[in-house]
Structure formats: structure tokens, C-alpha cells
């Protein structure tokens, strides 16, 4: 099988209401923005992947991706890794591309990706992952109807400038919802985006103090309390804290996560296969978690396609020690707006995430929605790539290049 071409789409799903994203303080999101990759093969099988975006930052990606991807054998996973690594040197962060290739391989095998990789179907408990930084009383008001529906696990965002306001938030929420509800806190220090207002920057002292407040309030885990490349800081905090320390959602690759394991930075590893080295490298993290008895539960904040990709990783891990992330922050970030171009991922009547059986990564991309919300900004195949080389370099040089690549030059 060979890859014959691909399309890249920039998708912007307009929210009905503004979404005040906690990790960019002061920033109101009007659209859920992401990019979609659709890969074609000579056997008619198509693969999809998606990446979080903030704007049109990947506009030039198609031109540089084409020579690395077109005519590639999808079975050659090592070769794809090397190609994406080479692409990475040029300033792009594109390991997410490999999920589209895994989608193709699993579709060819006629199995869901997690099954192809040795995982078993399972209905997963979830935690509701909130995205806005609210005061305790407002947060409790939003949690109560969900608790009445049977939800018993939530994640809060602690993004106040002052430590005491973060402590007030967890104390107020704990008091408001009682002791039977699982609560996690995400400090989002891994990727601080200070585009509008000042972003709180935690140091080890603040992280230690907040971790103590977490332990006092029965918080299940504290997520990204320090920058992920502060290996020593994370390790020192984990050693001292009486709350689980979690992280690892936005690393470049296995190379940084390996160092986290060596330093023993976290109790809980949360890679996102669309950020951290793709499916190929996330599988290494799954294995290492098993070896070192660490908890694996992936980052699932994203769009419908990336949610499916990471859901596969959770099912491959078979790790049931913590619930899986289920993003929900009404009124803006609800299933329809979250998932965008696939049928929304819904929970069953027991609030569990039921396993899917569709071959591949598991979702069917709705082409009508992709065309409605997306703009195709790159469409490449061998012919278009050839024409581009001729246009850029002239016919004579293009022919010389072909000769060299065919081994005749």
C-alpha cells in the first residue's frame, strides 16, 4: 500500500456563547479551532488525524509535508517516524500526522486501533474536565446539576494570580459538593499563553504550598504545577507532596518524557498522542507506565478526532486506576462544539464512555461538517508535487532531481 496524497483543512467551529479559556487568562474564544489531515492511499483507504490550532499557523505545512508523506508505505512506521523527525527540524511540530497512518492500518486490519494494538474494549468511567476559571460558588452552581445526573468526578482550573484565590477555590468547591466527589486541579503551568492578561507563574514554593492545600482538601491529583521541562522541580514536588502529581500532556516527544521517568517527576502521565510524539511514541509511554507502575490517563482536551485518538491510547493501556478526561464546559464547550466534524462522543446511561467498534481510530468524519466549518488549504498528490517542483526550480533542475531520486544520477 502507498500513500497517494492528502488534504489539510483549517476548521473553525463557531461557539454559540463565548468561551473564557482558563489557560489564556482574559481571552474569550469565539471558535473551536483545529486542523484536520485526510490521507489517501492507493487501496482507497483514508486516514484522519487532527491537531489543536490557535490560528493559521500550519498554512505552509502541505508543501513541506508532501515530499515526506507522498509515496510512503503506511506499514513502515519507523520510516514515518524518521520522516516526521526530519520535518520537525524545520520548525514544525507534526508528530500528530502519524495517527492518520495508524487509522489507515487499523482500517485495513478491520479492527479498532486499540484492538489492533492489543487493547480490549471497556466502558470507561470519566471525569468532567472544566475549562473556565470560576469562583467557587459559580463552579459549585455548575457542578450540582451534573452531580444530580450521577457524575462524581471533576477537574478544576486553578489559574488565579494569587495563591490564596486558588486555595479559596478548592476549599469552596470541596465544601459545596461534599467529600464523595472526586476533584482534580489543573494549574496549566505546562503551556502558559499570556496573550491578553498576566498569567500566573508558579515556582516550586507555590507549587508545594498549593499541593499541601490539595492534600488538606482531598484533591485526587494536581496537574502541571510546574513547567514540564523543570524535571528537578517536578521530582522534588512529587517526593514531598501528599497528593498525586500529574503531567506530560504537551511534550515534544518520548525524548523528554523519558527524562521525566528518569527523574520520577509524576505519579500520573497524561500524554496527548496529537502533541507528544504521535501514537508511535505514546505507546512507549504506555509501556513505561506499566513497567514503572505509574498511572496512564491521556490528555483528551481537543476535537472529536483527537479525542478518539487518545481514547484508543487509554484502551490500549487497560489502566483503570483513574477516570478518563471528558471535556464539558457548558454553555460554550459542549459535545457538538467540542467534537466539531464527527458525531459527538456521548456517555451512556451510567455516565460511562462506551467502547466503539468502528475500524480505525473509531470516528467517522462527517464530510458535510468538515466542508461547512473547514477550509481546505492544501491538497497534494504526486502530480501536484511534481508541478510544484517544476514551478519552483524550473523543468531542467526538476528533471535532474528526478534522475537523482530514481538512482540514475
Nearest to 98 by CA among 132, 62, 50, 61: 50
Nearer to Mg ion, 98 or 186 (CB): 186
How near is the Cβ of 274 to Mg ion at its closest, in Å? 14
- Separation CA 150–CA 218 (nearest Å): 20
Query: Alpha-carbon distance 12 to 36, whole Å?
Result: 11
CB of 148 to Mg ion, least distance (A): 26
The vertex-283 CA angle with 344 and 265, nearest 5°, equals: 100
**Part in contact with Mg ion (CB under 5 A); list of ranges 34-42, 119-127, 217-225, 381-389:** 217-225
3-state secondary structure 53-107: CCCCCCCCHHHHHHHHHCCCCCCCHHHHHHHHHHHHHCCCCCHHHHHHHHHHHHH
Task: Pick the piece of the chain touching Mg ion (CB under 5 A) from 11-19, 120-128, 140-148, 218-226.
Answer: 218-226
Segment interacting with Mg ion (CB under 5 A) among 28-36, 61-69, 219-227, 251-259: 219-227
Shortest Å, Cβ 258 to Mg ion: 20
Q: Which helix (H) or strand (E) holds 9?
A: strand 3-20
User: Closest approach of Cβ 249 to Mg ion, in Å?
Assistant: 5
Question: Per-residue contact track with Mg ion, 319 to 348, x per CB under 5 A?
Answer: ------------------------------
- Considering only residues 223 to 252 of the shown chain, the ones binding Mg ion according to CB under 5 A are 223
Distance CA 161, CA 271 (A): 27
Cell 504506555 sits at which residue? 286
To Mg ion, the closest distance from the beta carbon of 23 in angstroms equals 8
Residue 106 or 243 having the CB closest to Mg ion: 243
Query: Which residue, 93 or 384, has its beta carbon nearer to Mg ion?
Result: 93
DSSP 3-state of 124: strand
Stretch that binds Mg ion, among 69-77, 108-116, 220-228, 342-350 (CB under 5 A): 220-228
- The contact mask relative to Mg ion for 157-196 (x = CB under 5 A, - = no) is -----------------------------x----------
Tell me the C-alpha distance between 334 and 186, whole Å: 19
Q: How far is the CB of 103 from Mg ion (least distance, A)?
A: 25
Coil, helix or strand for 262? helix
Minimum gap (Å) between residue 30 Cβ and Mg ion: 22
Task: Specify the residue, 261 or 269, whose C-beta has the smaller distance to Mg ion.
Answer: 269
Shortest Cβ distance from residue 127 to Mg ion (Å)? 12
**Cell numbers linked to 190:** 505546562
**Is 272 a binder of Mg ion (CB under 5 A)?**
no
- For β-strands 124-129 and 268-269, DSSP reports them as unpaired
Is the four-CA dihedral 42, 48, 52, 55 of positive or negative sign?
positive
With CB under 5 A as the rule, give the number of residues binding Mg ion: 2
Comparing CB distances to Mg ion, the nearer of 186 and 329 is 186
As measured in angstroms, the least distance from the Cβ of 159 to Mg ion is: 11
Name the grid cell of 284. Answer: 512507549
Give whichever of 223 and 329 is closer to Mg ion, judged by the CB atom. Answer: 223
Grid cell, residue 208, equals: 508545594
**How many whole angstroms separate alpha carbon 107 and alpha carbon 91?**
31
Based on C-alpha coordinates, what's the Rg of the chain? Answer: 22
Chain residues in the site for Mg ion (CB under 5 A): 186, 223
Amino acid at each position: 500500500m502507498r500513500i497517494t496524497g492528502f488534504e489539510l483543512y483549517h476548521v473553525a467551529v463557531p461557539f454559540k456563547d463565548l468561551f473564557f479559556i482558563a489557560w489564556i487568562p482574559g481571552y474569550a474564544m469565539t471558535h473551536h479551532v483545529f486542523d484536520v489531515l485526510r490521507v489517501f492511499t492507493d487501496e482507497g483507504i483514508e486516514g484522519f488525524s487532527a491537531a489543536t490550532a490557535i490560528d493559521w499557523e500550519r498554512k505552509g505545512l502541505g508543501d513541506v509535508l508532501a515530499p515526506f508523506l507522498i509515496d510512503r508505505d503506511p506499514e513502515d512506521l519507523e520510516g514515518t517516524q524518521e520522516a516526521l523527525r526530519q520535518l520537525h527540524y524545520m520548525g514544525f511540530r507534526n508528530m500528530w500526522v502519524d495517527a492518520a497512518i495508524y487509522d489507515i492500518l487499523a482500517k485495513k486490519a478491520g479492527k479498532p486501533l486499540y484492538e489492533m494494538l492489543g487493547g480490549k474494549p471497556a466502558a470507561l468511567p470519566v471525569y468532567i474536565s472544566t475549562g473556565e476559571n470560576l469562583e467557587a460558588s459559580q463552579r459549585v452552581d455548575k457542578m450540582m446539576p451534573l452531580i444530580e445526573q450521577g457524575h462524581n468526578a471533576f477537574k478544576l482550573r486553578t489559574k488565579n494570580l494569587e495563591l490564596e484565590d486558588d486555595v479559596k477555590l478548592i476549599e469552596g468547591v470541596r465544601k459545596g459538593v461534599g467529600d464523595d466527589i472526586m476533584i482534580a486541579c489543573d494549574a496549566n503551568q505546562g503551556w502558559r499563553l499570556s496573550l491578553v492578561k498576566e498569567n500566573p507563574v508558579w515556582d516550586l514554593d507555590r507549587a508545594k504550598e498549593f499541593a499541601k492545600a490539595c492534600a488538606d482538601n482531598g484533591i485526587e491529583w494536581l496537574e502541571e504545577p510546574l513547567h514540564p521541562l523543570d524535571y528537578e522541580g517536578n521530582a522534588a514536588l512529587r517526593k514531598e507532596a501528599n497528593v498525586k502529581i500529574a503531567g506530560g500532556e504537551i511534550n515534544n516527544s518520548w525524548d523528554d518524557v523519558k527524562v521525566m521517568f528518569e527523574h520520577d517527576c509524576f505519579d500520573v502521565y497524561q500524554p496527548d498522542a496529537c502533541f507528544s510524539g504521535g501514537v508511535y511514541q505514546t505507546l512507549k509511554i504506555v509501556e513505561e507506565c506499566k513497567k514503572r507502575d505509574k498511572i496512564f490517563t491521556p490528555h483528551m482536551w481537543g476535537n472529536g478526532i483527537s479525542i478518539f485518538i487518545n481514547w484508543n491510547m487509554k484502551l490500549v493501556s487497560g489502566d483503570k486506576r483513574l477516570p478518563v478526561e471528558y471535556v464539558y464546559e457548558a454553555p460554550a464547550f459542549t459535545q457538538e462544539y467540542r467534537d466539531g466534524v464527527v458525531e459527538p462522543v456521548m456517555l451512556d446511561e451510567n455516565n460511562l464512555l462506551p467502547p466503539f467498534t468502528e475500524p480505525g481510530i473509531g470516528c467517522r468524519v462527517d464530510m458535510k461538517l468538515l466542508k461547512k466549518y473547514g477550509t481546505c488549504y492544501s491538497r497534494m498528490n504526486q502530480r501536484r508535487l511534481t508541478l510544484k517542483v517544476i514551478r519552483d526550480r524550473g523543468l531542467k533542475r526538476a528533471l535532474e532531481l528526478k534522475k537523482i531520486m530514481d538512482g540514475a544520477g
